[in-house]
Amino acid sequence: MRHRLRDPVTGLLFVLPMLVLFLIFKIFPTLGAAGMSLTNWNIGGEWSFIGADNYTRLVNDPNFWSSLRATLVYTVIYVPLVMAVSLGTALLLNSIVFMRGLFRGMLFLPYVTSFVFAGIIWRWIFEFDGLVNGVLAKLDLGPVGFMERAELVLPALAVVSCWKGFGYSMLILLAGLKAIPGSYLEAAKVDGAGPWQRFRGITLPLLKPALFFVLVIETIASFQVFDTIYVMTGGGPAKASYTLIYGIFERGFRFWEFGYAATWGMVLFAIVLVVSLIQRRFIGKENT
């Protein structure tokens, strides 16, 4: 019995520190938010149990539905964009032999920069007298109010977030490309397969587990976008970039309605969970 228990107990001891941190910073706060969503908790710490009243209020809140719509539109724009950029740069780095480490570091650099710093720089780039409108003016196509037009603000924010965050997904996909045996590609090349045929028939199928992982983490990141919006638009114009996370921030730290903010958070948690399960069911079941 002692011999049979030794390996499981040893493994548990190794993972115990991370398990404790996960419980303290993930599970317990989630359970606390679930309980808080059933109260009218305020900034003074005073609260009373109100049951499902916050959820009833949320269903009838036009701000919630507009923020959900903005979040979904942003997700639809951002996720395909960052997936394409990450895969393209990973394929490019995988084909580079000379100074590969330098190029990898340069492409990863935006990921480690501050969201606030990136937002300030990109706000200047998108302004009427900024870099993009300067180029458009030279082509007689501008200026364009990217931050002032409701139909353009979410695509502009998606570009900024993509520039800021694609580096991590790029490294994940690059690692997946490195794991593909070179003999497969060489054999296909000998058989006369072109670059596109090798990519479609060998590289892409073997890269599916990494692609699925990137899809899940980038989808979750798109639902949690906040920093860029807070710095660049403040939810505007006319709440066109008023996402769910920004709504949670405003309810909790501007109106001090912590119970109602927790309700928004629990609904966001449920949405992300459902979307992740759908992705696994229809896209990544055979790749996990």
Report the CATH number at residue 155: 1.10.3720.10
Q: What is the pLDDT, as a whole number, of residue 5?
A: 63
Q: What is the pLDDT, as a whole number, of residue 188?
A: 84
| pTM of the complete model beyond 0.75 | yes
Q: Could you tell me if 115 and 124 are in contact, meaning their C-beta atoms sit under 8 angstroms apart? A: no
Separation of alpha carbons 214 and 110, rounded Å: 18
Cα angle 226, 230, 231 (rounded to 5 degrees) comes to: 125
Residue at 18 is within a domain = no
Residue at 116 is within a domain = yes
Q: Taking residues 159-185, what's their average pLDDT?
A: 91
Q: Which pLDDT band holds residue 3 (cuts at 50, 70, 90)?
A: low
Residue at 2 is within a domain = no
Owning domain of residue 251: 53-287
Q: What is the pLDDT, as a whole number, of residue 66?
A: 94
Q: Which pLDDT band holds residue 98 (cuts at 50, 70, 90)?
A: confident
Q: What is the pLDDT, as a whole number, of residue 104?
A: 85
Residue at 90 is within a domain = yes
Residue at 13 is within a domain = no
Q: What is the pLDDT, as a whole number, of residue 1?
A: 60
Q: Domain total for the chain? A: 1
Which of the pair, 190 or 226, is modelled with greater confidence?
A: 226
Q: Taking residues 204-209, what's their average pLDDT?
A: 90
Q: To 10 degrees, the CA torsion angle through 257, 262, 267, 272?
A: 130
Q: What is the pLDDT, as a whole number, of residue 217?
A: 93
Which of the pair, 87 or 129, is modelled with greater confidence?
A: 87
> Which of 102-116, 247-261, 265-279 has the weakest average pLDDT?
102-116
Residue at 143 is within a domain = yes
Six-digit token pair at 135?
């180029």
Q: Taking residues 201-223, what's their average pLDDT?
A: 92
Other beta carbons less than 10 A from residue 267's beta carbon: 19
Q: What is the pLDDT, as a whole number, of residue 287?
A: 54
Which of the pair, 22 or 10, is modelled with greater confidence?
A: 22
Residue at 31 is within a domain = no
Residue at 217 is within a domain = yes
- pLDDT surpasses 60 at 286: no
Q: Which pLDDT band holds residue 159 (cuts at 50, 70, 90)?
A: very high
Q: What is the pLDDT, as a whole number, of residue 284?
A: 59
- pLDDT surpasses 80 at 245: yes
Which of the pair, 163 or 287, is modelled with greater confidence?
A: 163
Q: Which pLDDT band holds residue 59 (cuts at 50, 70, 90)?
A: very high
- pLDDT, averaged across the chain: 88
> Which of 13-22, 28-37, 129-138 has the weakest average pLDDT?
129-138
